[in-house]
């Protein structure tokens, strides 16, 4: 439970708070109702009493046919939740902005449910809350499978088996195989929520897409295990009953077995490349093979039919909306102003940014450099602060893989390069943050894991210098292999924007160099800067849907679904119904599925494109203003390598940074001692970096030796 510390709220904030509470309550009711349908779905009450009566009312319509019932039961509630979520987040953004200005904060007590419970194992670091929800989800799968199999077995008799030309065990195997596929569809219904990067559903739970990737992985493993078992059971059944030829059937008015096999094979190829060893060593294979999800979903819909596919549609629908918006944003090349080349094989890319684009600390942006690869997109933490640096957006790229090393070599090698073509997607991050709720922030990083902490420190610098907020004491514990990595600490201070005086902050940096015994005389530790020529075709990084992006996203979701209902209603009424008359026995199943998929794509593309073009006009005006400002601001000559060491060494903020930093050579940090020595009532412990290091920090925080430690893992598993 949260304990407030005498926070005063204005009448407008109270009004917004009441609206948000009403939305949360409505969303909770809708979600519980949706889950209740899943729980009741395998019971005889639902299948023999409720569903037939419901279908009798909805299936009689000449506009939606048999899928109407499933659209209303499974798809509509989640899309309504998503739309309400957009309104909720838009209001929350206004409330958070006003709370920032007044430096209001709430103190939170640690709860056992938020503490790590599982630390080492295949699931990674898992909190009590996550473990509880995983347990409940597994129970849901077991309940649906066991109940549906039990009810099915009750109807299987020797007479029924003889009528079908099968033995009793063969009839039961058929039933089990079918129910394995049904349960797999439940996993599929949830699987795409975590991978919608601009999701409006996850923030309602205080989650981000990057932090939920592990849920996508869990669901993917369970789904593929169930679907593979589903396929194997049927292959065994057909083999023992001499019906192996059924594997080549693609029926016009029934289940298409060939489509199911194509879907399963696509999923298996995708699944194999997710093996950690393959993913680490051959990432490109994992990356490109993952696009087989398109074949998997398309042929899955061909396999089960459009009515049953409506069960898993809402999550995938929101993913398609998000994916299309990303596609629109990625078509533009953005203005890369400069690059700071660090001696530790890292580079900071500084982009021009529209003033209307705001984001929170620990946000992530995906970058594509066509001269390296036209297809590969890589995520990097945004280190800049949208308030501290209104016209710049920065990311740090560490040369650890093939793509990143090529980028570093391109920028660190003296050449005539005066422009680098770059496209971006994002940034994506938490809807809100409140680091003021802790008395002390302890940030533990290893290697390039320091980058999200740079964004957090810059946020605290902004709050401290602009609004004179009482910021928590910050202890940054960073471990590097070599002395050259000390140059990463230079990134803490922005190169432009609001003056970043850190003398009033309680900042303590403990840097550990594990492989060097002392600072090498010939080791450079300061970055060098490359300036690029402006190009008229490049644009600043903008919020693709403008400042009111959440409202526009809600408009896209709701309007595209309405367009879909209108178009598919017209097609069903005037094309499908005259042929089929709602019998589901005449009109081609594959053609029906294709028409529905096509209409969904057209609806989303038309609604999203209209909103994108509307906001593009506003972004173009802002881009022109930014270009005029850049043209009137003197910059260093393009293609020049300018050493910033002298300027930084003479600056007061840099001197303050030096005084706050202690460097330890040839040792590793004693994390247990350093964490347990903090006795403040609320200590936020953030860990980012190697897996073993995060596990060590999580183990200390969950050991029970200190109840004041609040652990949070910042891990990007894209």
The reported pLDDT for the residue numbered 150 is: 94
% the chain with pLDDT above 90 = 47
Judge whether 370 lies within some domain: yes
The reported pLDDT for the residue numbered 604 is: 97
The reported pLDDT for the residue numbered 183 is: 96
The reported pLDDT for the residue numbered 494 is: 75
Cβ pair 19, 11 in contact under 8 A: no
Comparing C-alpha atoms, which of 76, 99, 73 is closest to residue 20? 99
Same domain, 389 and 495: yes
Cβ pair 215, 205 in contact under 8 A: no
Residue 534's CATH number:
3.40.50.80
Judge whether 429 lies within some domain: yes
Enumerate the β-bridge partners of residue 353.
541
Q: How far is Cα 153 from Cα 159, in angstroms, rounded to an integer?
A: 13
Check whether 274 has a pLDDT greater than 70: yes
Judge whether 563 lies within some domain: no
Comparing C-alpha atoms, which of 273, 384, 343, 328 is closest to residue 543? 328
Judge whether 155 lies within some domain: yes
Comparing C-alpha atoms, which of 500, 498, 495, 427 is closest to residue 457? 500
What's the pLDDT tens digit per position in 480-501?
Answer: 988 888 888 888 887 665 556 6
Q: How far is Cα 16 from Cα 218, in angstroms, rounded to an integer?
A: 36
Of 210, 241, 272, the position where a domain reaches its end is 241
Judge whether 455 lies within some domain: yes
The reported pLDDT for the residue numbered 326 is: 94
Cβ pair 208, 430 in contact under 8 A: yes
Highest mean pLDDT among 51-55, 85-89, 625-629: 85-89
Same domain, 236 and 338: no
pLDDT band of 435, cuts 50, 70, 90: confident
Q: How far is Cα 397 from Cα 405, in angstroms, rounded to an integer?
A: 9
Handedness of CA 606, 608, 611, 613 (dihedral sign): negative
Lowest mean pLDDT among 52-56, 94-98, 234-238, 685-689: 94-98
Structure tokens belonging to residue 705: 């030796």
Q: Tell me what the mean pLDDT of segment 664-670 comes to.
A: 92
Q: How far is Cα 713 from Cα 695, in angstroms, rounded to an integer?
A: 9
Judge whether 594 lies within some domain: no
Judge whether 53 lies within some domain: no
505: phi > 0 → left, psi -120 to 50 → alpha, else beta; which?
beta
The secondary structure of 524-566 as a DSSP string is --S-EEEE----TT-B-B--TT-TTHHHHHHHHHHHHHHHHHH
Enumerate the β-bridge partners of residue 333.
423
Same domain, 205 and 341: no
Same domain, 343 and 480: yes
The reported pLDDT for the residue numbered 99 is: 58
DSSP conformation class of 250:
B
* pLDDT mean across residues, the chain: 85
Same domain, 343 and 488: yes
The reported pLDDT for the residue numbered 324 is: 96
Residue with tokens 């990143």: 404
Q: How many domains does the chain have?
A: 2
Cβ pair 349, 397 in contact under 8 A: yes
Q: What is the 3-state secondary structure (H, E, C) of 276-300?
A: HHHHHHCHHHHHHHHHHHHHHHHHH
Other CB atoms within 10 A of residue 507 CB: 22
Query: Helix, strand, or coil here: 618?
Result: helix
Comparing C-alpha atoms, which of 9, 42, 382, 321 is closest to residue 196? 321
Residue 276 or 260, more confident: 260
Comparing C-alpha atoms, which of 15, 14, 20 is closest to residue 87? 20
Cβ pair 361, 385 in contact under 8 A: yes
pLDDT band of 582, cuts 50, 70, 90: low
Same domain, 341 and 479: yes
Question: Which residues contact residue 173 at a Cβ distance below 8 angstroms, ignoring those fewer than 6 apart?
Answer: 233, 236, 237
Check whether 162 has a pLDDT greater than 70: yes
Same domain, 215 and 341: no
The reported pLDDT for the residue numbered 100 is: 53
Same domain, 340 and 227: no
β-strand pairing of 346-352 with 336-342: antiparallel
Cis peptide before 479 (omega within 30 of 0): no
Handedness of CA 676, 677, 682, 685 (dihedral sign): negative
Of 191, 220, 241, the position where a domain reaches its end is 241
Give the orientation angle of helix 293-304 with respect to helix 168-191, to 10 degrees: 130
Check whether 124 has a pLDDT greater than 50: yes
Residue with tokens 């660190």: 412
User: Which residue range forms the structural domain that includes residue 231?
Assistant: 115-241
β-strand pairing of 473-480 with 440-446: parallel
Check whether 139 has a pLDDT greater than 60: yes
Lowest mean pLDDT among 178-192, 556-570, 574-588, 686-700: 574-588
Q: How far is Cα 303 from Cα 308, in angstroms, rounded to an integer?
A: 10
Give the orientation angle of helix 549-571 with respect to helix 589-632, to 10 degrees: 150
Q: How far is Cα 616 from Cα 154, in angstroms, rounded to an integer?
A: 61
Check whether 13 has a pLDDT greater than 90: no
Judge whether 249 lies within some domain: no
Same domain, 234 and 341: no
The reported pLDDT for the residue numbered 278 is: 86
What's the pLDDT tens digit per position in 193-211?
Answer: 999 999 999 998 888 888 8
Check whether 583 has a pLDDT greater than 90: no
% the chain with pLDDT above 70 = 87
Of 241, 259, 277, the position where a domain reaches its end is 241
Same domain, 233 and 377: no
Q: How far is Cα 206 from Cα 68, in angstroms, rounded to an integer?
A: 33
Q: What is the 3-state secondary structure (H, E, C) of 127-193?
A: EHHHHHHHHHHHHHHHHHHHHHHHHHHHHCCHHHHHHCCCCHHHHHHHHHHHHHHHHHHHHHHHHCC
Same domain, 434 and 535: yes
Check whether 101 has a pLDDT greater than 70: no
The reported pLDDT for the residue numbered 519 is: 73
Same domain, 364 and 480: yes
């Amino acid at each position: 439970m949260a304990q407030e510390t005498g926070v005063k709220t204005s009448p407008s904030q109270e009004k917004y708070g009441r609206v948000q509470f009403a939305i949360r309550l409505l969303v909770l009711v809708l979600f519980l109702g949706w889950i209740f349908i899943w729980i009741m779905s395998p019971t005889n009450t639902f299948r023999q009493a409720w569903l037939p009566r419901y279908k009798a009312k909805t299936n009689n319509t000449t506009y939606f046919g048999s899928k109407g019932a499933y659209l209303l039961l499974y798809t509509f509630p989640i899309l309504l939740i998503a739309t309400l979520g957009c309104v909720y987040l838009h209001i929350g953004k206004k409330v958070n902005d006003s709370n920032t200005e007044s430096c209001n904060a709430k103190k939170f007590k640690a709860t056992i449910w938020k503490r790590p419970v599982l630390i080492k194992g295949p699931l990674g670091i898992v909190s009590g809350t996550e473990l509880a929800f995983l347990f409940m989800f597994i129970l849901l799968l077991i309940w649906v499978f066991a109940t549906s199999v039990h009810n099915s077995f009750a109807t299987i008799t020797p007479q029924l088996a003889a009528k079908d030309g099968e033995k009793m065990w063969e009839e039961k195997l058929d039933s089990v195989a079918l129910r394995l596929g049904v349960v797999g569809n439940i996993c599929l219904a949830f699987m795409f929520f975590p991978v919608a990067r601009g999701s409006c559903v996850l923030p309602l739970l205080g989650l981000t897409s990057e932090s939920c990737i592990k849920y996508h992985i869990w669901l993917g493993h369970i789904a593929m295990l169930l679907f593979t078992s589903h396929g194997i059971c049927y292959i065994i059944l057909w083999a023992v009953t001499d019906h192996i030829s059924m594997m080549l059937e693609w029926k016009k008015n029934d289940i298409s077995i060939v489509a199911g096999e194509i879907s399963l094979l696509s999923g298996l190829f995708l699944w194999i490349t997710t093996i950690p060893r393959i993913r680490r060593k051959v990432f490109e294979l994992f990356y490109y093979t993952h696009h087989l999800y398109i074949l998997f979903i398309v042929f899955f819909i061909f396999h089960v039919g459009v009515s049953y596919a409506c069960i898993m549609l809402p999550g995938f629908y929101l993913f398609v909306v998000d994916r299309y918006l990303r596609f629109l944003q990625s078509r533009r090349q953005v203005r890369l102003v400069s690059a700071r080349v660090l001696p530790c094989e890292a580079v900071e890319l500084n982009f021009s940014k529209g003033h209307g684009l705001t984001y929170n600390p620990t946000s992530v942006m995906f970058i594509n450099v066509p001269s390296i690869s036209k297809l590969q997109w890589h995520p990097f933490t945004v280190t800049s602060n949208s308030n501290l640096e209104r016209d710049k957006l920065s990311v740090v790229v560490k040369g650890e893989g093939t793509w990143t090393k090529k980028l570093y070599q391109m920028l660190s090698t003296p050449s005539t390069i005066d422009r680098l073509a770059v496209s971006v997607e994002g940034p994506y991050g938490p809807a809100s943050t409140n680091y003021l709720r802790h008395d002390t922030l302890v940030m533990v990083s290893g290697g390039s894991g320091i980058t999200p902490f740079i964004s957090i420190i810059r946020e605290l610098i902004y709050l401290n210098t602009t609004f004179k907020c009482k910021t928590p004491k910050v202890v940054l514990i960073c471990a590097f292999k070599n002395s050259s990595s000390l140059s990463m600490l230079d990134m803490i201070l922005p190169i432009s924007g609001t003056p970043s005086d850190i003398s009033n902050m309680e900042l303590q940096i403990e840097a550990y160099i594990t492989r060097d015994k002392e600072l090498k005389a010939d080791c450079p530790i300061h970055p060098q800067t490359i300036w690029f020529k402006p190009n008229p075709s490049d644009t600043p990084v903008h919020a693709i849907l403008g400042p009111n992006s959440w409202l526009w996203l809600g408009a896209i979701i709701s309007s595209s679904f309405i367009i879909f209902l209108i178009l598919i209603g017209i097609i069903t009424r005037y094309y499908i119904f005259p042929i089929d008359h709602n019998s589901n026995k005449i009109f081609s199943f594959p053609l029906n599925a294709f028409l529905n998929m096509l209409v969904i794509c057209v609806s989303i593309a038309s609604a999203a494109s209209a909103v994108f073009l509307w906001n593009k006009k506003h972004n173009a005006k802002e881009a022109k203003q930014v270009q005029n400002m850049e043209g009137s601001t003197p910059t260093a000559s393009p293609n020049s390598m300018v050493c910033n060491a002298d300027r930084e060494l003479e600056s007061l903020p840099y001197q303050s940074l030096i005084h706050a930093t202690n460097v330890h050579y040839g040792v590793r940090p004693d994390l247990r001692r350093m964490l347990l020595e903090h006795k403040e009532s609320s200590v936020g412990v953030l860990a980012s970096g190697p897996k073993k290091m995060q596990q060590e920090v999580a183990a200390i925080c969950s050991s029970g030796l200190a109840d004041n430690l609040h652990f949070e893992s910042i891990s990007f598993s894209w």
